Amino acid sequence: MKDPQSNESYEFGGFYLDAEKRRLWRGEELIPLTPKEFELLLTLVENAGRVLEKDELHEKIWKETFVEDGTLTRNVSWLRKKLGVGDEGVDKFIETLPKRGYRFLPEVIKSPRANLLVVEEQTRTRIQVQETISLTETPVIATAALSLGEGQKRTTVPGWLWLVLGVVTFAMIGLVAFQKWFTRVEPKIIRVSNVTPFSSLPGRETLPSFSPDGKQIAFAWNGGEGEVLDVYVRLVGTGEPVRLTRGEKDALFPLFFPDGKHVAYFRSFPETSVIYEVPALGGAERKIAEVRSGGTSFSLSPDGKTIAVADTDSSSPRTGIFLVNSENGAKQRLTTPPDDLVDQEPHFSPDGKFIAYVQSGMGDKDLYIVLVNGNSLPRRLTFDKASHIRGLTWTADGKHIIFSSNRGDVAVSNLWQISVDGGEAAPILTSSKNPYGPAVSIDGKRIAYVEESEDVNIWRLDQSASGNGNKKLIASARSDHSQQISEDGKKIAFVSDRSGDSEIWVTNADGSSPLQLTTSGSAGSPRFSPDGRFIAYGRTPEGKDDIFVISSDGGQPRLLINNAARDILPAWSADGRFIYFASNRSGDFQIWRMPAEGGEPTQITRQGGFETFASPDGKVIVYSKGRGTPGLWTVGIAGGEEQPVA
């Protein structure tokens, strides 16, 4: 059988399959496929007319990982639906041979490279860096760049065994030259070509933005090593990067002021976040404003007098968009989102009259725009409920917004363009995989962005003096994370999307014999019961969050909590009789508990609660209060006084 990672392209039944870029098109419509769906389709296409036995497909698609026969059956069923056939029309594309396997029926034509929809010339330099880190997934970025033409838990671990995440990230900052972009009618495909490098710096490099004349790019870089990102500027096409900042905290989201003489940037501290400015040629930094809600991007108005940023104030704890005077730091609230939602990532339109921003909830993100003068309510542009939107920007004429999103329920991000009047978003085709953080030059001829792919693995960290026992424990070609060890130290539960969607898996303590427990998708936060017999986990069916329990040996999941509210992050009591969880059923997120066998939940906290751990002696629970509220608290197992941990 042929390797499904080939670079051929194929046509069949009105479809075009690009094996190199891992995309499927029906005419000019991009068909979203998960990674496993794509691998399965490509394998079938490359072996069209031949019967592929089930064992052969299991070995090729899931390799040494054990999955149930139902996993293959479900992926075939999903493929049929996306190809446009249901159970009554299965013979049109994929024929089922009972007890044997499958055969791809249509005539398949190989498409030569000269006939590709997107013609590209690309020079790419990638530096792969792997590091072992604890608890946080800090990206390690190897960069190259693009110019484009017209076209379209903490866990208690016995002995020396600790688990950490090993993250391998590849990224590139890119430049895209646009020609005749905005005469296209949505949702036509926007294609780009002529890819050339902007930079090939080692280390972590991200968050590009153009100078007003388009000749320089400001970006955040760790200088090739270390953990702290600083602001650098570099000429487009030539020259060495010039360092503008030096600090112990990351300097993020650099933006040129309209005069091109200064660069603003963001730096977060434990209690607050601060926006600074520094001369574009280097010099002393000046504090512009403090904000309570840090960690997201900000935007400068075209005249440089106003900063748009996500923040909170005394009038409301909700994070909304604020307008900040860049001279005196005075702030004014512009948006107030509904409960449990956050407004963030504001971006001024080129004429300064509108702000586009992201409204996000628990895993759902969409685009909105609002008038800066506040004379109208915010208007929603997308209805994707995407799990992430990683950056947005305006086109130079102010008629469209470019954003990075995994809309369409795909595993990776793509660049998209949508009209400010609404309608369907059009895909922007580049050679990049997982592009994000777009920034458009003022003349509209170029776009800079970062390309990133990520392989998250679970490692064992040797705590002995030699430290020679560090070992990659659980790994796949996709992301493996959210690990937890059973109390007897014999099993590890974790989340992986190696089967095509986020599912709960278990392995032996040495990483052997991986077993997929769930098949429903969107599963996470696994927690072993104290006796190791069961795993509680969260899942998001049909847009809401529920808690399930499943045997650690496999079997049918049991729905523990079915409520219109968001019920997330389960945790077992020390005796295994109860399950604690976070829920917003009372308004804000609080800790609740209910019997592990089912029953009525009881509210435990009154002043906020999110992720929970039961103490080994079973006397208290330890919990956090969620994003934006640092620290840990304790409360009795049945409620009572809520105390901060010293």
Which residues are CB-neighbours of 276 under 8 A, at least 6 positions away? 245, 251, 264, 265, 266, 267, 285, 286, 287, 288
pLDDT for residue 543: 57
Query: Could you tell me the pLDDT band of residue 455, with boundaries at 50, 70 and 90?
Result: low
Residue 378 lies in a domain: yes
The partner residues of 293 in beta bridges, in order of sequence, read none
Q: Are residues 146 and 87 part of one domain?
A: no
pLDDT for residue 445: 83
Q: Are residues 109 and 14 part of one domain?
A: yes
Residue 462 lies in a domain: no
The domain boundary residue, chosen from 421, 454, 487: 454
Residue 420 lies in a domain: yes
Residue 459 lies in a domain: no
Number of domains in the chain: 3
Q: Is 60 exceeded by the pLDDT of residue 171?
A: no
Per-residue model confidence as pLDDT tens digits over 73-128: 888 888 888 887 544 444 678 988 888 899 999 888 886 432 322 222 222 222 22
pLDDT for residue 61: 82
Q: 525 with 544: CB under 8 angstroms?
A: no
Q: In terms of residue numbers, what domain contains 101?
A: 9-115
Q: Are residues 245 and 207 part of one domain?
A: yes
The CA distance from 65 to 474, in Å, is: 11
Average pLDDT over residues 613-633: 88
- Which region among 352-361, 451-460, 481-490, 623-632 has the lowest average model confidence (pLDDT)? 451-460
Q: Are residues 314 and 365 part of one domain?
A: yes
Average pLDDT over residues 12-23: 81
The CA distance from 634 to 426, in Å, is: 49
Backbone angles phi, psi at 627, to 5 degrees: -60, 140
Residue 125 lies in a domain: no
Q: Is 90 exceeded by the pLDDT of residue 160?
A: no
Q: Are residues 507 and 576 part of one domain?
A: yes
Query: Could you tell me the pLDDT band of residue 66, with boundaries at 50, 70 and 90?
Result: low
Q: Are residues 135 and 107 part of one domain?
A: no
Query: Could you tell me the pLDDT band of residue 168, with boundaries at 50, 70 and 90?
Result: very low
CATH number at residue 65: 1.10.10.10
Nearest in space to 199 (alpha carbons), one of 142, 137, 245: 142
Q: Are residues 496 and 405 part of one domain?
A: no
- Which region among 55-69, 275-289, 408-422 has the lowest average model confidence (pLDDT)? 55-69
Number of Cβ within 10 Å of residue 627's Cβ equals 11
Q: Is 60 exceeded by the pLDDT of residue 174?
A: no
Q: Are residues 294 and 229 part of one domain?
A: yes
Query: Could you tell me the pLDDT band of residue 29, with boundaries at 50, 70 and 90?
Result: low
The domain boundary residue, chosen from 115, 142, 157: 115
Per-residue model confidence as pLDDT tens digits over 497-545: 877 678 999 999 999 999 999 988 889 999 999 999 999 999 876 657 8
Rounded mean pLDDT of the chain? 79
pLDDT for residue 219: 92
Residue 368 lies in a domain: yes
CATH number at residue 418: 2.120.10.30
Average pLDDT over residues 547-564: 92
Q: Are residues 561 and 507 part of one domain?
A: yes
Residue 632 lies in a domain: yes
Residue 464 lies in a domain: no
Q: Are residues 333 and 209 part of one domain?
A: yes
pLDDT for residue 76: 87
pLDDT for residue 293: 63
Q: Is 70 exceeded by the pLDDT of residue 63?
A: no
**CA distances for 217 relative to 4, 81, 269, 453, angstroms:** 38, 44, 26, 22
Q: Are residues 244 and 203 part of one domain?
A: yes
Q: Is 70 exceeded by the pLDDT of residue 170?
A: no
Query: Could you tell me the pLDDT band of residue 4, with boundaries at 50, 70 and 90?
Result: very low
Q: Is 90 exceeded by the pLDDT of residue 350?
A: yes
Give the rounded distance of the alpha carbon of 375 from its chain centre: 33
Query: Could you tell me the pLDDT band of residue 69, with boundaries at 50, 70 and 90?
Result: low
The domain boundary residue, chosen from 428, 454, 480: 454
Q: Are residues 487 and 449 part of one domain?
A: no
Nearest in space to 188 (alpha carbons), one of 498, 428, 474: 428
